[in-house]
């Protein structure tokens, strides 16, 4: 580099030297690398798991607002979390003993998602890490107050139209995520989670994170998805996987009363897209396209099978996958 | 036939399947079903929901309108105004007749709309995927790892007010 600078130091070559310096300076601007994005995600994930906090969270999607109270406790390495909505019919999400339980008191129903994946993080595969930098520009954005905290915003901007943009506002002190927003190509918000108030490092006891109802109240129905059988592959595949997405799971699981459902998951390091394949059966199905917050859903019939594809990606991406499911 | 048209409206058809659905739309009953679905969709979204008795009232008022005998234009400069009036009348007649046709011909469409209006809650959740699928998906999403259980709100609010599958 020194040699280059010396050679360029002739009077007639001053412009070239300047140009070179400018280029060198430009390159020195911290354009976040794969390690940066991955390290950043790991840091925020670790904070979300380790900190104790309580606050009010507003979930905004499709012109709707839902307010909930969130309590998180890490007790000697074990995670406990409780989310209770504050409007409409009561809903409660509890994370404890490595499973997630959703309570629907009006329907007398509990949905249980056993053995969650969470503890496996941070474990992005090298391919996922590569996809993060190849398909997103990760950069530091503005500082600003959210929920009374001076946050630092970070943006994952997609480089193609096959994924949404993501913006995260983080408390630099604790590393906790205070606000998260998904936006489309027109920079329109698709979905947003934001604390309106939060107490970090709060004193929280087990009582505050235990479910309002018993584990299984008498007369309630419990729907347990699983057990998952990831030991054998499903024999299904996606022939036109959108660039950057790699398969991270392939196995059977039990959903509703549908029996065995093949479940494949593809991820680009930031979001995931699930593919469910099951026999059509006699029940009527909501074929077509729908959206639930930041998740787009495509359901279609393929021969005698029902294909359900969903994930935090634009409809075109979900459709491409839904239309290229095939037997291996 | 109906399922194909529904799927076409959802943008779920491509290639030969879409071509087949377009052929269905060339038939009278196919087109009627298409119109009916759109009227229902509009009513569900609460835009442009038809008003009961509108067609009859509109027809009566149109009948009662005095015939406009426009005086012969003296200046050619006034011509555009006369044309504008004529065009407006023509447009009203066209819109009116389309409205009357649409509202009077297939009574099934209106009945279905009224039913749909009363059962908003049942048709809308039909479009929703079961929360079981969302829950099964959620744990794999890397963003879930940094957001805690917040994103599970998608699943618990997904079942609408009843939390049914």
B162/A128 CB distance under 8 A: no
Q: CA-CA distance, A239 to A250, in Å (whole number)?
A: 15
Cβ under 8 Å to B: A residues 237-256: 248-249, 253, 255-256
Domain locations along chain B? 2-127, 128-165
Residue B150 touches chain A, beta carbons under 8 Å:
yes
Residue A18, domain member (yes or no): no
Question: Across chain A, what does the average pLDDT equal?
Answer: 85
Instruction: Give the DSSP per-residue string, A256-273.
Output: TTS-EEEEEEEE-SS-EE
Q: What is the pLDDT of residue A156?
A: 96
Other CB atoms within 10 Å distance of the CB of residue A129: 17
- Stretch (H or E) spanning B146: helix B142-147
Q: Between B94 and B20, name the one with better pLDDT.
A: B20
Number of folded domains that form chain A: 2
Q: How confident is the model at residue A16 (pLDDT cuts 50, 70, 90)?
A: low
Q: What is the pLDDT of residue A94?
A: 94
Could you tell me if A71 and A96 are in contact, meaning their C-beta atoms sit under 8 angstroms apart? no
A:B CB pairs within 8 Å: 187
User: Largest Cα–Cα distance in chain B?
Assistant: 79
Could you tell me if A197 and A70 are in contact, meaning their C-beta atoms sit under 8 angstroms apart? no
Residue A316, domain member (yes or no): yes
Residue B2 touches chain A, beta carbons under 8 Å:
no
Could you tell me if A72 and A81 are in contact, meaning their C-beta atoms sit under 8 angstroms apart? yes
Residues linked to residue B70 through DSSP beta bridges, in sequence order: none
A198: tokens are: 């939060």
Same structural domain for residues A74 and A194? yes
Domain closes at, from A156, A180, A209: A209
Highest-pLDDT range among A28-32, A94-98, A269-273: A269-273
Closest residue in A to B161 (Cα–Cα): A89
Q: What is the pLDDT of residue A4?
A: 38
Distances in Å between the alpha carbon of A68 and those of A115, A151, A164? 24, 21, 25
Residue A216, domain member (yes or no): no
Cβ under 8 Å to A: B residues 77-136: 126-136
Partners of A262 on chain B (C-beta within 8 Å) are: none
Could you tell me if A94 and A81 are in contact, meaning their C-beta atoms sit under 8 angstroms apart? yes
Could you tell me if B12 and A302 are in contact, meaning their C-beta atoms sit under 8 angstroms apart? no
pLDDT tens-digit series, residues A189-241: 999 999 999 999 999 999 999 999 988 899 999 888 766 666 678 899 999 99
Closest residue in B to A312 (Cα–Cα): B141
Chain B interface mutation, best of A288, A306, A320, highest count of B Cβ atoms under 10 Å: A288
Q: Which residues contact B20 (CB under 8 A, 6 or more apart)?
A: B4
Q: What is the pLDDT of residue A278?
A: 92
Q: CA-CA distance, A86 to A191, in Å (whole number)?
A: 19
Q: How confident is the model at residue B138 (pLDDT cuts 50, 70, 90)?
A: confident
Q: How confident is the model at residue B145 (pLDDT cuts 50, 70, 90)?
A: confident
Same structural domain for residues A41 and A190? yes
**Residues A166-176, mean pLDDT to the nearest whole number:** 96
B150/A59 CB distance under 8 A: yes
Parent domain of A57: 34-209
Q: Between A206 and B161, name the one with better pLDDT.
A: A206
Q: Between A237 and B122, name the one with better pLDDT.
A: A237
Q: CA-CA distance, A95 to A105, in Å (whole number)?
A: 17
Closest residue in A to B139 (Cα–Cα): A117
Q: Which residues contact A202 (CB under 8 A, 6 or more apart)?
A: A52, A53, A54
Domain closes at, from A183, A209, A235: A209
Residue A26, domain member (yes or no): no
Collapsing DSSP states into helix, strand and coil, what is residue A205?
coil
Residue A220, domain member (yes or no): no
Partners of A116 on chain B (C-beta within 8 Å) are: 139
pTM of the model: 0.68
Closest-CA distance of chain A to residue B34, Å: 16
Whether B104 shows a pLDDT value over 70: the answer reads no
Same structural domain for residues A50 and A196? yes
Collapsing DSSP states into helix, strand and coil, what is residue B1?
coil
Residue A50, domain member (yes or no): yes
């Amino acid at each position: 580099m020194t040699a280059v600078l010396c050679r360029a130091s002739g009077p007639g070559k001053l412009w070239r030297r300047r140009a070179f310096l400018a280029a060198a300076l430009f390159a020195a601007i911290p354009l976040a690398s794969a390690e940066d994005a991955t390290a950043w995600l790991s840091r925020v994930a670790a904070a979300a798991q380790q900190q104790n906090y309580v606050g009010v969270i507003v979930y905004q999607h499709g012109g709707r607002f839902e307010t909930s109270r969130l309590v998180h406790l890490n007790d000697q390495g074990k995670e406990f979390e409780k989310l209770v909505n504050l409007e409409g019919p009561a809903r409660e999400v509890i994370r404890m003993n490595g499973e997630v339980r959703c309570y629907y008191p009006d329907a007398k129903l509990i949905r249980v998602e056993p053995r969650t994946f969470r503890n496996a993080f941070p474990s992005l595969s090298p391919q996922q890490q590569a996809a993060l930098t190849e398909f997103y520009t990760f950069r530091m954005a503005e500082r600003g107050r959210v929920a009374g905290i001076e946050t630092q915003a970070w943006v994952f901007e997609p480089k193609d139209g096959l994924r949404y943009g993501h913006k995260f506002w983080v408390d630099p002190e604790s590393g906790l995520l205070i606000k998260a927003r998904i936006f489309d190509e027109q920079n329109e918000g698709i979905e947003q989670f934001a604390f309106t108030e939060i107490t970090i490092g709060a004193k929280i006891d087990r009582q505050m994170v235990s479910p309002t109802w018993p584990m299984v109240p008498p007369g309630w129905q419990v729907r347990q998805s699983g057990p998952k059988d990831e030991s054998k592959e499903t024999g299904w595949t996606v022939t036109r996987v959108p660039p950057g997405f790699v398969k991270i799971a392939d196995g059977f699981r039990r959903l509703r009363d549908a029996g065995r459902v093949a479940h494949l998951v593809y991820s680009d390091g930031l979001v995931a897209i699930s593919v469910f394949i099951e026999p059509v059966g006699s029940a009527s199905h909501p074929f077509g396209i729908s959206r639930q917050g930041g998740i787009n859903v495509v359901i279609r019939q393929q021969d005698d099978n029902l294909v359900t594809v969903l994930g935090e990606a634009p409809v075109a991406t979900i459709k491409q996958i839904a239309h290229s499911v095939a037997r291996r | 036939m109906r399922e194909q048209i529904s799927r076409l409206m959802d943008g779920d058809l491509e290639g030969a399947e879409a071509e087949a659905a377009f052929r269905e739309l060339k038939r009278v009953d196919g087109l009627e079903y298409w119109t009916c679905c759109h009227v229902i969709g509009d009513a569900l979204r609460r835009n442009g929901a038809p008003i009961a008795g509108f067609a009859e009232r509109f027809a009566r008022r149109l009948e009662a309108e005095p015939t406009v005998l426009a005086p012969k234009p003296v200046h050619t400069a006034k011509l555009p105004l006369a044309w504008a009036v004529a065009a407006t009348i023509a447009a009203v007649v066209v819109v009116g007749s389309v409205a009357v046709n649409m509202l009077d011909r297939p009574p099934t469409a209106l009945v279905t709309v009224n039913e749909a209006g009363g059962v908003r809650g049942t048709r809308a959740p039909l479009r929703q995927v079961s929360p079981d699928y969302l829950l099964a998906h959620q744990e794999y999403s890397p963003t879930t790892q940094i957001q805690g259980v917040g994103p599970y709100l998608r699943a618990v609010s997904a079942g609408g007010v009843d939390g049914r599958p």
